[in-house]
Amino acid sequence: MRAATIRDGEVVVEEHADPEPGAGEVLVRVRAAGLNGADLLQKAGGYPAPPGSPADIPGLELAGEVVANGPGATRFAEGDRVMAIVGGGGQAELATVHERQLMPVPANLDWPEAGGVPEVFTTAYDALFTQAGLAAGDRLLVHGAAGGVGTAGVQLGAAAGAHVTATVRNAGSREAVRALGAHEVLDPEGFEEHGPFDVVLELVGAPNVPGDLKALDTGGRIVVIGVGAGFKAEVNLLALMGKRARISASTLRARPLEEKAATARAMERHVLPLLERGVLRVPVAETFALDDVAAAYDRFKAGGKVGKIVVTTG
């Protein structure tokens, strides 16, 4: 098979041996794979793949068709359309995935859209609802709202009945984010003056954290799931205590199978029905063929997009 391959800090396309599904695993012919910030970190040598995932083939999410089942895998049949978060290896023509991590692709999604669902919607749902307990009537602040997780977070918050405020640095992207359900779209400068907020989805990183705390209401929750702008912040613990507030953070990639399976089942119960009904959508900023994967990485790094950059395999 052909796959995007990290070599000396660059991404190239190389031939690899076809993977074979092990016990409980499914072999998937990948049709589309979304890019994420973690892929750029891995390319730079800063975010190695977890044990059991390909060390040199990036890609944390994929969508495609079932080719074969390994021993004991019975949940999906050959030809089924599936999608999943993976530890790595998504940007390839073939990939193996444990059947418990796989989700069915809603019939109304095309391949690029499906390839952009698993990582961002699972991350946003887990952060907003499992960790922060977002509820109807809450005031939600989403930083970096034009990116993949940001667009998912805005939509999920609006669908849950929260009042959604989004920060977007690129003025040309703000109207598109508003169209996804944000009630207010702000320049990041001075965002803390627009609170109080019950939940802050922090996708930018350390520079925002002091302002997040200032903008937080009593009993508020900050969830950190992005640190592209920096990962060390000074926190006023007295302010945190005074507001009886909470800061949490997480990643999905290194979680054990049981936890990843739990996030997939939560997606099937709460998110896929909304995608099927068109309540949620997957903004795809641009698609690139596998042969042009290096250009896809350059486009992602350039910023100024709304939604996902997706690599397709034809």
pLDDT digits (tens, 9 = 90+) for 270-289: 999 999 999 999 999 999 99
Mean pLDDT of 289-304: 96
Average predicted confidence (pLDDT) for the chain: 96
User: Per-residue pLDDT tens for 53-66?
Assistant: 999 999 999 999 99
47 plus 84 within the same structural domain: yes
For residue 172, the domain's CATH number is 3.90.180.10
pLDDT for 208 beyond 90: yes
Q: What is the pLDDT of residue 11?
A: 97
pLDDT, position 254: 84
Q: What percentage of residues in the chain have a pLDDT greater than 90?
A: 95
Residue 227 confidence class, pLDDT cut points 50, 70, 90: confident
293 and 239, same domain (yes or no): no
pLDDT tens string 134-143: 999 999 999 9
Is the domain of 154 the same as that of 232?
Answer: yes
**Residue 257 belongs to some domain of the structure:** no
Residues 29, 43 within the same domain: yes
**pLDDT bracket for residue 202 (50, 70, 90):** very high
Residue 266 is assigned to a structural domain of this protein:
no
The answer to the question of residue 286 being in a domain is yes
**pTM tops 0.85:** yes
User: How many structural domains comprise the chain?
Assistant: 2
Residue 230 scores a pLDDT above 90:
no
- Above 90 in pLDDT, residue 32? yes
**Residue 244 sits in the same domain as residue 293:** no
Q: What is the span of the domain harbouring residue 48?
A: 2-117+273-312
- Per cent of the chain over pLDDT 70 is 100
Are residue 241 and residue 280 in the same domain, yes or no? Answer: no
pLDDT of residue 192: 96
User: Is residue 157 exposed (0-12), middle (13-18) or buried (19+ Cβ within 10 Å)?
Assistant: buried
Strand order in the sheet with 139-142: 184-186, 163-167, 139-142, 197-202, 216-224, 246-249
Residues 98, 138: one domain?
Answer: no
pLDDT at residue 25 in the model: 98
- d(CA 6, CA 242) in angstroms, rounded, equals 47
Tell me, what's the pLDDT at 252? 87
Q: Is residue 258 very low, low, confident or very high in pLDDT (cuts 50, 70, 90)?
A: very high
Residues 8 and 24 in one domain: yes
For the cut 90, the answer to whether the pLDDT of residue 229 exceeds it is no
Residues 90 and 156 occupy one common structural domain: no
DSSP of 136-181, one letter per residue? TT-EEEESSTTSHHHHHHHHHHHHTT-EEEEE-S-GGGHHHHHHTT
Report the pLDDT averaged over residues 124-151: 97
Inform me whether the pLDDT recorded for 314 exceeds 90: no
Average pLDDT over residues 34-48: 93
Residue 6 lies in a domain: yes
pLDDT at 53: 92
Residue 260 in any domain: the answer is no
Q: Are residues 23 and 141 in the same domain?
A: no
Average pLDDT over residues 233-261: 93
187/94 same-domain check: no
Q: Where is the domain boundary, 249, 281, 303?
A: 249
State the pLDDT at residue 228: 86
pLDDT tops 90 at residue 213: yes
245 confidence band (pLDDT: 50, 70, 90): very high
Per the document, the length of the chain is 314
